[in-house]
């Protein structure tokens, strides 16, 4: 819960991003306390916006509507990623929201195609990056050619991230000395098993979940950042990689195409053979020392475009529109 100073009238914004299970007892208790706070502020004529990021909270919006609050929903991923329960909760809940914000144009277009009735209250605001964190890692004053990681992957080990293909592509690369993978997920056991039984055992290290600063440092020390996702919202790790002077290899999917215009990227068709993608990675590893100027310029451009401080202003615009209507 926080007050937002840039709102044009007094108000509170409750940012609800619960990881609790649906109707969990702990959450019901917390919700009751939350209800009391909302009711108290309504009595004091303070406008309230509730911003929701998690489908598990949607069942409660029917009760929140009784309080005459403004409701905002963020959609962070392609609808392909939604399971049966999440999709149907979304379908039932959308009419009750005052604004729906998607983290990329492609996700926004997908949501509008699927639910045309919400078009008038739909907004696309891309994910953003913390410039201060990135500056601590690399201020972009010069290009360091001393890289000690050949390939880095920053992704959950789940179906969406195309884990088997990523492992197969890496195994086809020539002369890799060090590959690191940050993330966890339900395909971790399968991935570890494949790596331990193959040639990657001495090359690839699974790091799990680590502090963001460590991940950014690792990206900065890597020659190649690799993401072959089948679908995405607009991955923050991808934006961070583009904000550091690291070669980036991304799959050709709609949200990644949004990154093309200002970054001179070439995306990889997922139908391309593993050997061909590996050849692209091998060539970038050979040539990266000559591409410092381009990589520094691309990093600076990405930081300007996706600076989180600027994107927050777009959220404030939505809040102001709601709270003053």
Residue closest to 302 by CA, chosen among 260, 249, 257 = 260
**Could you give the percent of the chain with pLDDT greater than 70?**
89
Q: Is the pLDDT of residue 22 over 50?
A: no
- Quick one: tokens of 196? 């331990």
Mean pLDDT, rounded, of the chain:
87
pLDDT at 4: 46
What is the CATH number assigned to the segment(s) 131-305?
Answer: 3.40.50.2000
What is the CATH number assigned to the segment(s) 2-127+309-323?
Answer: 3.40.50.2000
**Could you give the percent of the chain with pLDDT greater than 90?**
66
Read off the pTM.
0.87
Write out the residue limits of the CATH 3.40.50.2000 domain(s) in the chain. 2-127+309-323, 131-305
Flag the least confident range among 35-39, 93-97, 283-287: 35-39
Give, in order, the Cα–Cα distances in Å from 7 to each of 14, 57, 252, 312.
14, 25, 39, 12
CA-angle at 61, arms to 55 and 63, nearest 5°: 145
pLDDT at 29: 67
Q: Is the pLDDT of residue 255 over 70?
A: yes
* 11-16/2-3 β-pairing: antiparallel
pLDDT at 31: 66
């Amino acid at each position: 819960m926080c007050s937002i100073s840039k709102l044009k009238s007094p108000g509170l914004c409750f940012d609800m991003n619960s990881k609790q299970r649906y109707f969990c007892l702990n959450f019901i208790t917390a919700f009751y306390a939350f209800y009391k706070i909302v009711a108290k502020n309504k009595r004091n004529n303070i406008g309230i916006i509730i911003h929701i990021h998690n489908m598990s909270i949607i069942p409660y919006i029917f009760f929140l509507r009784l309080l005459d609050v403004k409701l905002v929903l963020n959609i962070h991923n392609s609808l392909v990623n939604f399971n049966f329960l999440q999709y149907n909760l979304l379908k039932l809940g959308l009419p009750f929201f005052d604004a729906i914000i998607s983290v990329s144009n492609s996700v926004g277009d997908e949501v509008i195609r699927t639910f045309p009735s919400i078009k008038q209250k739909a907004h696309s605001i891309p994910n953003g990056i913390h410039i201060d964190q990135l500056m601590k890692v690399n201020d972009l004053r010069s290009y360091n050619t001393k890289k000690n990681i050949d390939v880095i992957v920053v992704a959950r080990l789940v179906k969406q991230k195309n884990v088997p293909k990523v492992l197969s592509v890496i195994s086809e690369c020539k002369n890799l000395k060090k590959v690191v993978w940050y993330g966890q997920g339900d395909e971790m056991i399968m991935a570890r098993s494949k790596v331990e039984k193959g040639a990657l055992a001495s090359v690839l290290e699974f790091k799990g979940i680590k502090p963001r600063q460590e991940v950014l440092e690792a990206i900065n020390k890597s020659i190649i950042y690799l993401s072959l996702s089948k679908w995405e919202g607009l991955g923050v790790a991808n934006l961070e990689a583009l904000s550091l002077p690291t070669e980036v290899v991304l799959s050709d999917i709609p949200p990644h195409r949004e990154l093309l215009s200002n970054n001179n990227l070439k995306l990889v068709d997922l139908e391309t053979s593993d050997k061909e993608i590996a050849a692209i990675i091998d060539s970038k590893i050979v040539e990266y020392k000559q591409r410092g100027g381009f990589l520094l310029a691309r990093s600076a451009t990405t930081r300007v475009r996706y600076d989180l401080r600027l994107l927050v202003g777009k959220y404030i615009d939505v809040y102001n529109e709601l709270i003053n209507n």
